[in-house]
Structure 1
Amino acid sequence: MHTVIPHAAPAGPQCQAAIAQLSLPNLGELVSLLDPKPPLLGSVESLTPLHERVRAKSLGLQGADGLVPWAALDAEHLGLTKAHGTTGWAWITPCHWQINADHVAMDHPDTLALGAHASDALRATMQPYFAEDGISLHALSNSTWLAQGAVFTDLPTASLARACGTQVDNWMPRQPEAQGLRRLQNEMQMLLYTHPVNDARSAQGQPTVNSFWISGTGRLPAHTPLAPGERIDMVLALEAAALRDDAYQWLKAWHTLDSTVIATLLQRAKAGQPLQLTLCGERLAPTFELKNTAWWNRLQRRFTAPPPQELLLTL
């Protein structure tokens, strides 16, 4: 079992300042029993967050920053690549943009909680406009669609986790080939303004769908079997608060995590059961694993392992 904890040390100033207030006794004891592996390296400017890199590595997926082919992988699983090929795929996520005087912000699209009928109706309305730019839309889930078009070939895009809770302007693709996509986003704002789905949502006091986010682009190697992948438990308990830089809720989520998931891992480690733990920050994603090492080496680690706060500050 490989447990991955994204947003273990978010870059937001409030969460960074709150690290010193964390009390994570189970994490501290667990790390003292495990051996560190070389970490993955990242940065706050990267389009692909480190937790997505960890998952991609487990699946044998390769791609430059912003080009891990998540959408192409979904298309292959749905059998769409047989007719449309393995390149030019993207995720299209309907979302609500808050238009401010000096910037555009976006809450996490999951808060829209789109149902199947609403999602299908929006996609059907938007499809002809995408088709004018050579893009076809395909259903994937209520919250995410698949898109296929030449424009997405080799176009780096930012993960949805990068754009949520911040200024989307900083993460928009600015390459010349993306100009048509930016125009399409503007057109969708006007098209969806009076859409029946949005009229119904407004009447119920719900946020409307007025734009979309593009992510998951990248080439899936043709005729290259992917690794089956190790079993990864991606723990997202810290995500919502981290994306809002809500220090209070992030601390609360970490403390709950320490008393539940981390406590369970600690018991497994004490029982000698194999496990791996990866803590994902912005700069580093270190992995710790249980090895059958000599008892004196394990004892030494108990006295040399850094306290959880010091560890998280390095991430």
Structure 2
Amino acid sequence: MASTTVVLPFALPPAELAPELSRNLQAPALAALLSRNSLLKKHSPAEDGRLLPHEAWLERELGGLAAAVMQGFGLAPAQGYWFIVHPVHIQLARNHLVLADSRRLLLDEADARVLFDLAKPFFDELVWGDANTWFMRADSWRDLDTASPDAAMGSNLADWMPEGATALAFKKLQNEIQMLWHEHPVNEARQYHGLAPVNSFWMWGGASVPASQPASTHSIAVASWPAAGPAGAPPSWLAALGPPGKQAAPGEAGTLVLPHLIPMGAGNDWGAWLGAMQQLEADWFAPLLAALRDGSTGELTLILTGREGWTEIRTSKSALRKFWRAQNLKNLSQ
């Protein structure tokens, strides 16, 4: 029988909001999966929190993110040390700089290609993934401690810049790219049409190639999501971790990532989060519960994450028989 792990980024809302959100969520299948378990374990995030818990979990499982994401884009990078790179908008908020939500950048491929081609000569090696996700090789920057864009978003940027012996070299490169893109016709046209200028880049997820644990050794599927709404779509780097063209299905063996809640959780849009959770109940939680009950899935592990940590819950057909345990959503809390 299949053993399935389901990763649910931002399934855990902030502690102060969890009780009210749980009261307004009609999710009996999820309640059964959370309550009638054989294992419940809460985990704290790393002290500096420069990766969100779901990002840190995936990084550990894959043995590094950059190499795995590159493979997901069909790239075969040369041996070396690689980072994920995103074109971004940095804005001024009162007396400090803030990294804006890249999901709202609306950068199309044509504009991204122009900016990519301009920037490429300034890098040792810069490789295209898609409009929002590029990759850079920097073998001498292995010491850099970087933060993911979703972890840094909305906070004082000074607290999230790369740290390490080569941080000044990164800052010099970032300044060069910022000057290169400043007032470029691409950005002038974007601003004319009411779009934010692409005025910098962000790098993170550094990993050696070959990675210590290549992505090809893992069975990871990333579920597709509906067309992007006001909150935007989950990041394309995450989508690339799933095999191209593979349609994830409830109950199949391996690791399944459900990214539907990321835009709402990262953007603190908890009303939209509630609606997305309600849809997940119908599309995923109810079928997962049915797969356990009919025996097609032998064991299900849920990895529920928030900003402040993550919870591991394991259940099975026999655990579901624990009728004395009330079915509720109290485990949707950090």
TM-score normalized by structure 2? Answer: 0.76
Matched, 1:208 2:201: no
Give CA-to-partner distance per residue, 1:97-133, whole Å, 9 cap, x none: 11123222223323223222222210111223x34xx
Higher strand share: 2
Residues 159-178 of structure 1: matches in 2 within 5 Å? 159-178=148-167
Alignment of 1:186 with 2:169, yes or no, is no
Are 2:1 and 1:7 aligned?
no
Q: 1:142 to 1:186 in 2, by over 3 A?
A: same
> Of 217, 226, 241, which residue of structure 1 is paired with 2:264?
241
Q: Structure 1 281/207 Cα, relative in aligned 2: closer, same or farther at 3 Å?
A: same
Instruction: Label 1:197 to 1:203 Cα distance change in 2 as closer, same or farther (>3 A).
Output: same
2:177 is paired with a residue whose SS is helix
Residue number among 262, 268, 275 corresponding to 2:285 in the alignment: 262
CA distance in 2, matches of 1:242, 1:303: 33
Over 3 Å counting, the alpha-carbon distance change for 1:306 and 1:25 in structure 2 is: closer
Q: 2:328 aligns with which of 300, 307, 311?
A: 307
Higher helix share: 1
Identify which of 272, 285, 301 aligns with 1:276. 301
- Please give the per-residue CA displacement for 1:240-272, whole angstroms capped at 9, x wherever unaligned: 121122232222322332233212222222222
- Secondary structure at the counterpart of residue 188 of structure 1: helix
Contact 2:58 2:65 (8 Å CA) reproduced:
no
Q: 1:220/1:41 Cα in 2 relative to 1: closer, same or farther (>3 Å)?
A: farther
In the other structure, the counterpart of 2:66 is 71
Alpha-carbon distance change, 247 to 74 in structure 1, aligned in 2, over 3 angstroms: closer
Change over 3 Å in CA distance of 1:174–1:250 after alignment to 2: same
Distance 2:16 2:87 in 1: 29
Percent identity of the aligned residues?
Answer: 26
Aligned twin of 1:199: 188
Superposed displacement of residue 312, structure 1: 2.1
Q: What code does the residue aligned with 2:53 have? A: L
State the partner residue of 1:101: 94
Query: Matched residue pairs, number?
Result: 292
1:227–1:58 Cα change, 3 Å:
farther
Q: Which moved more, 1:183-192 or 1:218-227?
A: 218-227
Taking structure 1 as reference, are residues 17 and 166 closer, same or farther at Cα in structure 2, changes over 3 Å only?
farther
**1:210 positional shift:** 0.6
Amino acid at match of 1:79: A
Report the Cα distance in structure 2 between the residues aligned to 1:181 and 1:215, rounded to whole angstroms: 12
Mapped partners of 2:325, 2:86: distance in 1:
45
Partner of 1:291: 316
Unaligned runs of 5+ in 2: 221-254
Alpha-carbon distance between aligned partners in 2 of 1:194 and 1:49, rounded to the nearest angstrom: 33
Note the C-alpha offset of 1:38: 4.9
SS in 2 for 1:119: helix
Among 273, 276, 286, which residue is 1:253 paired with? 276
Return the alpha-carbon distance in structure 1 between the equivalents of residues 270 and 68 of structure 2: 35
Per-residue CA distance 1:186-227 (angstroms, 9 max, x = gap):
333332121121122122222210111111113345686666
Counterpart CA distance in 1 for 2:185 and 2:312 is 48
TM-score (norm 1): 0.80
| Kept in 2: contact 1:92–1:145 (CA 8 A) | yes
**Which residue number in structure 2 is paired with residue 64 of structure 1?**
none
In structure 1, runs of 5+ residues without a counterpart are 62-68
AA aligned to 1:109 is: S
CA shift at 1:157, angstroms?
Answer: 0.9
Q: Amino acid of the residue matched to residue 321 of structure 2?
A: L
